[in-house]
Amino acid sequence: MTRGGKIKLSLLASVISFLALVLLVGLTSPVSNISLVLVFFAVLLLFLVSFGHLLIYLRKGQLGPKSRARIVIFSVFIVLLLMFSSSQSLNWVDGLILLLVLGGLLFYSSRRA
């Protein structure tokens, strides 16, 4: 796939997932159906990954395995952080553990790729 095709695909996935997020937030209530919260976080993860790919393609022109792994790690970290903070179960110890896990995953991905 050419560079332009990859940019268009990432842009399309970002726009569709962003619109899905807006529709989920605007039209649903997590109090009435808890499964919508899981759908929200899954769509948020898809948006973060596709938007990260788009940013890297626009900035560098290519996406290597190290960049791909870092995008997934940061996206999962942001989603987990939002999950914990939305359930109001994120204290400073849990935040410190999440940061240590993030640092370990980033270190491991830089050594592996």
Question: Residue 29 — φ and ψ, nearest 5°?
Answer: -130, 125
Q: How many domains does the chain contain in total?
A: 2
Q: Give residue-wise pLDDT tens across range 48-78.
A: 999 999 999 888 878 888 888 889 989 998 9
Q: Are 14 and 44 in contact (CB under 8 A)?
A: no
Q: Give residue-wise pLDDT tens across range 1-41.
A: 676 778 888 899 999 999 999 999 898 887 778 888 899 99
Co-location of 68 and 93 in the same domain: yes
Segments forming the whole domain that contains residue 55: 1-62
Co-location of 96 and 110 in the same domain: yes
Co-location of 54 and 27 in the same domain: yes
Co-location of 57 and 68 in the same domain: no
For the whole model, what pTM was predicted?
0.85
pLDDT value at position 22? 94
